[in-house]
A and B are shown apart, each in its own frame.
Chain A
Amino acid sequence: MASMRDIKRRKGSIQSTQQITKAMKLVSTVKLQKAKNRAEQTNPYFNYMYQTVTSMLAKSGNVDHPYLKAGGSDKKAVVVITSNRGLAGGYNSNVVKTVTASGLLKEDVEIYAIGSKGHEALSRRGYSIKADESGMIESPAYENAAALCKTVLDAYTNGEIGEIYLAYTHFKNTVSHEPKLMKLLPIEFDENEMEQAAGSNVLMNYEPNEEEALDTIIPKYITSLFYGALVEAVASENGARMQAMDSATSNAEEMISDLTLKYNRARQGSITQELTEIIAGAAAIS
């Protein structure tokens, strides 16, 4: 059995770790609230954008537009959104896993990393990293998303890449987040949704003409997806960290109560031993 002093020291160290995890949990709870509000505020814009684009494409079905058909290149750009900090449970590794398990060939993939954790993990696995925009995740701003979107779209229109994907964590609610890999370009919509959109809407006119409208609206649509993903990823990160820290705190609690029990037993044991020694000593003298 470990000595009393060892147990006490161990308990102390667990206690201070618990204090840290507790504080981290509180911090990420506050951050989660903020990020959640933000994600909710982005939603109307994104939903409206999605509706408009779907109904536009539903009607202009077979327009021969570069954004709607695959480019010439085999290269695939994947924008991977992770966090810059760890201690968030499986948050980062889940996103990385969706990329590695996606069936996209490693040689064809070019990673645009947002978040240094994803960057490190993927470059270690031998993916080629095209750009690192990790600063963006600290405070997601629409302008940043727009700038990244422009870089990626330029590469797409130049024919350097043929497809664009987005890997991020979808924020369902506070306790459930789901890593996702989404194909952005060329755009593929669900047939059913297309039909719905086409049926429900009145005959729409476009000004200037449809193709020019597509030209301006699709980049905005992609940007809004980037931005939405960024905001959701931040919310998911904090949610994941909150959960991880919560379970760490309760694990520490368990260990402490376990150690307290052991400590008390050791204390009792040593008292008993002392008593036995004294009694034995006294018996020897008399």
Chain B
Amino acid sequence: MADESRIFEVEIITPDRVFYRGEATMIEFNTAAGELGVYKRHIPLTTVLAPGIVKIHKDGEDDVIAAVHSGFAEILPEKVTLLAEIAEWPDEIDKGRAEAARQRAEERLSHKTGETDIKRAEFALRKALIRIDIAK
């Protein structure tokens, strides 16, 4: 029997679907201000997501892992909602494509010209690295 007092609701919503809805005892994700782990009864907080891996810990079950890129999170004492522009399960990721994207981004960063959009390239690189990481 799971310990009721530790369980809270988690929702991950993307523009195209409700990506995940379930219960958890803890959730970890990456925000613009660093990594964050949330238990039940966290103070209310709205924070901007950074590309990263979301790890949903459950009682007596395997952790749920997904890749989330850009969006924001609303944390309430009983509920955590992630509004993500892109969210992917590990088995949805095309590893070859992610690898290609990583190479492209690295290429752009190592041969900088005046026109290179460094921020965009870095963002692409981070996304690719997370995809490769999670698809392993």
Contacts and interface: CB of A to CB of B under 8 A. Distances in A.
A205 B31 CA distance: 14
B46 A49 contact: no
A202 B77 CA distance: 10
Contacts of A205: 43-46
A217 interface: yes
B133 interface: no
Given A202-B76, A213-B72, A220-B85, A44 B18 contact: yes
Interface in B66-90: 71-72, 74, 76-77, 81, 83, 85-86
Contact of A206 (B13, B14, B16, B46): B46
Contact of B71 (A201, A207, A220): A220
A207 B83 contact: no
B131 to A, nearest CB: 16
Nearest to A206: B46
Given A48-B83, A146-B85, A217-B72, A56 B14 contact: no
Contacts of B76: 202
B83 A52 contact: yes
Contact of A204 (B45, B48, B71): B45
A203 interface: yes
Interface string A146-175: 100000000000000000000000000000
Listed residue (B15, B72, B77) with the most chain A CB atoms within 10 angstroms of its CB: B15
A45 B14 contact: yes
A276 interface: no
Interface string B37-78: 000000111111000000000000000000000011010110
Contacts of B86: 142
B33 interface: yes
A52 B74 contact: yes
B45 A41 contact: no
B136 interface: no
B118 interface: no
B22 to A, nearest CB: 15
Contacts of A91: none
Given A48-B83, A49-B83, A217 B48 contact: yes
B93 interface: no
B112 interface: no
Contact of B17 (A41, A46, A213): A41
B100 interface: no
Contact of B16 (A42, A202, A216): A42
Given A49-B83, A52-B74, A217-B72, A204 B13 contact: no
A38 B15 CA distance: 10
B20 to A, nearest CB: 12
Contact of A208 (B18, B33, B83, B85): B33
Contacts of B45: 204-207
A262 B85 CA distance: 62
Interface string A7-42: 000000000000000000000000000000010011
A7 to B, nearest CB: 53
A45 B32 contact: no
Nearest to B77: A202
A116 B13 CA distance: 32
A220 B72 contact: yes
Given A207-B31, A207-B33, A48 B48 contact: no
A223 B70 CA distance: 13
Interface in B11-27: 13-18
4 closest Cβ pairs, A-B complex: A207-B47, A142-B15, A205-B45, A204-B44
Given A203-B44, A216-B48, 17 more contacts: A38-B16, A42-B15, A45-B14, A56-B46, A142-B85, A202-B44, A205-B43, A205-B45, A206-B47, A207-B32, A207-B47, A207-B48, A216-B32, A217-B48, A217-B72, A220-B83, A227-B15
